[in-house]
C-alpha cells in the first residue's frame, strides 16, 4: 500500500521497487512494469546466480529515472514486516545512491525519509500517518567516496537515514509491549479523531500524540518495569471491560453533540444505507474471499484486497448500469451509479450506527450505567498516567 498511498498523495509518477519473484511470468512482468514497479531479486526468493546481473539492470533503470528528476520508492530495511519497529538499514539503498552520483556526478540526488504509520493494517477504513523528513543530499558523501572510504560512507549514510526515519515513525521498541502499545496508541489517536467525512488531514497533531505516547511507554518500560506493569494491568482491565460491554474506546472521545448527530444520521439514512449494503454485498464479499484465499502475510492483504475490490467493483458497476439501462433506458446510467453510491453511504452509516449503539449500551442498559463512571475514571487515569 505504501506505493499506492504515496502516488496518490504526491500526484506524481512514482516508481517502486518490488519483489522480483512476482515478475517471473511474462504477463505479470508486463502488467507490473506498466504500473511502474521494478523488480529487485533476493537470494531468499530464489534469485539464484543471476541475482546480481538482474538487479544491476534494475539499478540502471533507477539511475535513468533519477537523471530525469523522477522518484523511486525504496525500502531500505529490505523486508516487509507489519510491526511498529524500524529494522537495521540494508546497504542496498546507500549503494544505489552512491552509484547513481558516480555515474552522473552533476546530479543533485536527494533521499527523502518517509515514515509510514498504519493505525491498524489489514483492516478496512483504517488510517495512516505519512511524514516526510528532511532530504538527505547524496553529494555530501562524495568526498568520502573519492577518498575510497565507501564502507564509512555507507555506514554514515545509513546512520543518518535510520535516525531520520525513526524521527518520523511511531515505534514500540519491545515486541512484548505490542499489545499494550496498540491499546494506548488507540486511545491517543481517539483524542485527535478526524471529522466524520474527513479524508486527508495536513496536521501532525495525531502523529505527535501517538509519537509522544509511544515514547512514554518505551521510557517507562526501560526505566521502571514495576510501574510499567501497573500501567499494563490498568489498560488491560480497561479494554477487557470495554470488550465485555461490547463498546469501543472511541465512544468516550466523542462529545455529546456529535453523538446526537450520529443518532440523527443513523435514523434518517437507515433504509437507503441498508439497501446500499444489499445491492453492493457481492463485489465486497468476492474481494474479501480473494484476499483471504491468496494472501498468507498480513503485509500484503491490504493491497490485494484493494486491487481485487477495484477490478471487481468496476465490472460490477458496468453490469449494474447495463441492467438498469435495459429496464429504464438511459436514466439507468444514473440509477446504476446511485446504487454504488448507496454502498458508499453504508460505510458512513455503519460508523454512525455503531457509535449510536455504544451510546445506547452506556446510557440505557443496567450494565452500562453501572460501569459508565468507572470506565470514565479508568480512561482518565490511563491518559493522565504520564502527566
Structural domains of the chain, ranges and CATH numbers in brackets: 2-170 (3.40.1130.10), 177-245 (no CATH), 258-381 (no CATH)
CB 131 within 8 A of CB 207: yes
E-strand ranges in 172-310 read none
| Beta carbons of 286 and 310 less than 8 angstroms apart | no
How much is the mean pLDDT over the chain? Answer: 90
Can you name the residues that pair with 136 across neighbouring β-strands? 111
Long-range contacts of 220-223 (CB under 8 A, 24+ apart): 220/386, 221/173, 221/174, 221/177, 222/173
What's the pLDDT score for residue 49?
A: 66
Q: Given this model, what pLDDT does residue 4 score?
A: 85
Cα–Cα distance between 313 and 340 in angstroms, integer?
9
Tell me the pTM.
Answer: 0.84
Tens of pLDDT, residues 314-343: 999 999 999 999 988 989 999 999 999 999
CA–CA separation, 325 and 239 (whole Å): 51
Q: How many alpha carbons lie under 13 Å from residue 82 in its C-beta half-sphere?
A: 17
Residue 193 has pLDDT above 90, yes or no: no
Instruction: Pick the closest to residue 301 from 176, 126, 178 (CA basis).
Output: 126
Q: Which three cell numbers stand for residue 226?
A: 514495576
- When pLDDT is cut at 50, 70 and 90, the band that residue 46 belongs to is low
Band (pLDDT 50/70/90 cuts) for residue 366 is very high
Bridge-based pairing state of the strands 37-40 and 14-19: parallel
Contact assessment for residue 188 and residue 174, using Cβ atoms and an 8 Å cutoff: no
Q: What's the pLDDT score for residue 19?
A: 83
- pLDDT value, residue 48: 62
Amino acid at each position: 500500500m505504501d506505493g499506492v498511498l504515496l502516488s496518490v498523495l504526491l500526484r506524481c509518477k512514482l516508481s517502486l521497487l518490488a519483489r522480483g519473484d512476482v515478475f517471473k511470468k511474462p504477463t505479470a512482468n508486463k502488467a507490473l512494469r506498466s504500473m511502474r514497479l521494478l523488480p529487485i531479486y533476493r537470494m531468499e526468493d530464489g534469485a539464484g546466480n543471476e541475482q546480481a546481473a538482474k538487479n544491476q539492470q534494475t539499478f540502471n533503470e533507477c539511475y535513468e529515472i533519477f537523471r530525469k528528476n523522477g522518484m523511486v520508492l525504496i525500502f531500505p530495511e529490505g523486508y516487509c514486516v507489519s510491526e511498529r519497529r524500524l529494522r537495521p538499514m540494508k546497504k542496498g539503498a546507500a549503494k544505489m545512491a552512491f552509484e547513481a552520483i558516480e555515474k552522473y556526478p552533476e546530479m543533485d540526488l536527494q533521499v527523502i525519509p518517509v515514515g509510514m504509520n498504519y493505525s491498524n493494517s489489514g483492516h478496512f477504513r483504517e488510517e495512516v500517518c505519512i511524514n516526510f523528513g528532511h532530504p538527505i543530499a547524496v553529494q555530501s558523501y562524495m568526498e568520502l567516496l573519492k577518498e575510497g572510504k565507501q564502507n564509512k560512507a555507507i555506514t554514515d549514510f545509513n546512520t543518518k537515514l535510520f535516525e531520520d526515519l525513526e524521527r518520523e515513525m511511531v515505534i514500540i521498541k519491545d515486541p512484548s509491549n505490542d499489545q499494550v502499545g496498540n491499546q494506548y496508541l488507540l486511545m491517543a489517536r481517539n483524542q485527535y479523531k478526524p471529522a466524520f467525512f474527513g479524508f486527508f488531514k495536513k496536521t501532525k497533531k495525531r502523529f505527535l500524540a501517538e509519537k509522544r505516547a509511544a515514547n512514554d511507554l518505551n521510557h517507562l518500560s526501560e526505566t521502571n518495569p514495576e510501574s510499567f506493569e501497573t500501567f499494563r494491568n490498568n489498560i488491560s482491565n480497561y479494554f477487557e471491560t470495554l470488550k465485555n460491554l461490547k463498546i469501543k474506546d472511541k465512544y468516550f472521545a466523542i462529545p455529546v453533540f456529535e453523538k446526537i448527530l450520529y443518532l440523527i444520521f443513523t435514523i434518517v439514512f437507515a433504509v437507503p444505507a441498508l439497501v446500499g449494503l444489499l445491492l453492493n454485498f457481492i463485489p465486497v464479499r468476492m474481494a474479501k474471499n480473494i484476499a483471504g484465499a491468496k494472501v498468507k502475510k498480513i503485509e500484503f492483504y491490504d493491497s490485494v484486497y484493494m486491487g481485487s475490490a477495484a477490478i471487481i467493483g468496476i465490472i460490477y458497476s458496468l453490469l449494474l448500469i447495463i441492467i438498469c439501462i435495459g429496464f429504464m433506458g438511459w436514466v439507468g446510467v444514473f440509477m446504476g451509479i446511485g446504487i454504488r453510491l448507496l454502498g458508499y453511504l453504508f460505510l458512513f452509516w455503519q460508523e454512525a450506527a455503531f457509535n449510536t449503539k455504544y451510546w445506547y449500551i452506556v446510557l440505557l442498559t443496567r450494565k452500562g450505567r453501572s460501569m459508565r463512571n468507572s470506565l470514565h475514571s479508568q480512561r482518565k487515569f490511563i491518559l493522565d498516567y504520564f502527566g
